[in-house]
Structure 1
Amino acid sequence: MISWKNHFLYQVDYQHWVNDKLLESCDKLSDEVRKREEGLPFRSIHGTVNHLLVINLKWLGRLQGEPKDYRHDQQIFEEWRELKLALKQTVRQTQHWLEAQSDAYFDGELHYRTSGGVEQRDWIHDVLTNFVTDCAHCRGQIAGLAVRLGAPSPEMDFIYYRRDMQESLAHAKLATTSRPG
């Protein structure tokens, strides 16, 4: 049986992998197209990727007990490259922070204040489930629009992530066993 900790470490590693797949697809679009208002809740591809960064920063801050006061639509980076790098770094920070937590942490409660200022208490595993599903929801919006605008369709399914990881591990094992020694 997999622990909550291991489950969410897989999930956050998947966030990193899938964001790379999605952003690589969006790289095929011009900056003008990525920033064009297209009716998404956060207006554009760029705005919705920015929202992914905002929710990553907000939840990491809450988990660490250091809440970040970002609005959901707050534009942090105007430059695509900077936005992508910040998202990648924030997801890795979340992963490293979660790795440092004990197994018991994932069975605990999180006390935090919502964006509307309401005091909240939720199970850590429910908060993390909400976080990863919210990210998946935003990525789905981005991917659908990006493909409609001419970007290649990214393979973002979790099962593809698992297969990629298994293949990487097999290659690493083969490289280790085939070294002269």
Structure 2
Amino acid sequence: MISWKNHFLYQIDYQHWANDKLFESCDMLSDEARKRDAGLFFKSIHGTANHLLVTNLLWFARLRGDHVDLRPDQQVHDDWRELKLALKQTVRQTQHWLQAQPHEFFEGELRYRIASGVEHSNWVHDVLTHFVTHYAHHRGQIAGIATQLGAPIPEMDYIGYRRDMQDSLANLRQAANG
């Protein structure tokens, strides 16, 4: 049986992989196309990717018991390359921090305050489930708009990630034996 910790370490690694697949597709678009209002809640591809970064920063701070003063729609990076790099780094930082946590952390309760000052309490595994499904939700929105704008369809489903990881392990084994 897989532990909550291992489950979420796989899930966070998947987020990194899926973001890379999405960025490869979105890189085919012009900066103007990525920033054009496409009717999304956070307006554009760029705005929605920026929201993913802000969301990661907010939840990562809450998990650590810290506070960051960010709004969900706050623009952090105007440059696409800087935004992608910041999102990659933040996802990896989250992954490494979670790796260092004891198994019990994932079964514990998280108390945090939202921007309005209201205190909430949720199980850590529920917060992390929200975190990863929130990413998938917004990545799907971005992929749909990017595809409509002419970008290639990014194949970023979880089973594709697992296959890629299995293939990578098989290649490493073959290289070590050959």
Q: TM-score, normalised by structure 1?
A: 0.97
- Quick check: 1:78 aligned with 2:81? no
- Quick check: 1:111 aligned with 2:107? no
Match of 1:137 in 2: 137
- Structure 2 residues without counterparts, runs of 5 or longer: none
Q: Match of 1:122, SS? A: strand
Partners of 2:146 and 2:115 in 1: CA distance: 29
- Structure 1 residues without counterparts, runs of 5 or longer: none
- Quick check: 1:56 aligned with 2:62? no
The alignment of Structure 1 onto Structure 2 pairs a total of residues equal to: 178
Summarize deviations over 1:86-127 as a string: whole Å, max 9, x none. Answer: 000000000000000000110000010123321011000000
Partners of 1:68 and 1:6 in 2: CA distance: 27
TM alignment of 1:81-160, pairs within 5 A: 81-160=81-160
Q: Match of 1:128, SS? A: helix
Q: Tell me which amino acid in the other structure corresponds to 1:133.
A: T
**Post-superposition offset of 1:66:** 1.1
Partners of 1:174 and 1:96 in 2: CA distance: 28
Q: Tell me which amino acid in the other structure corresponds to 1:121.
A: S
Partners of 2:10 and 2:19 in 1: CA distance: 14
How high is the sequence identity, in percent, across the aligned residues? 69
**Post-superposition offset of 1:40:** 0.4
Partners of 1:49 and 1:39 in 2: CA distance: 14
Root-mean-square deviation (Å): 0.6
**Over 6 Å off, 4+ runs:** none
Partners of 1:80 and 1:136 in 2: CA distance: 20
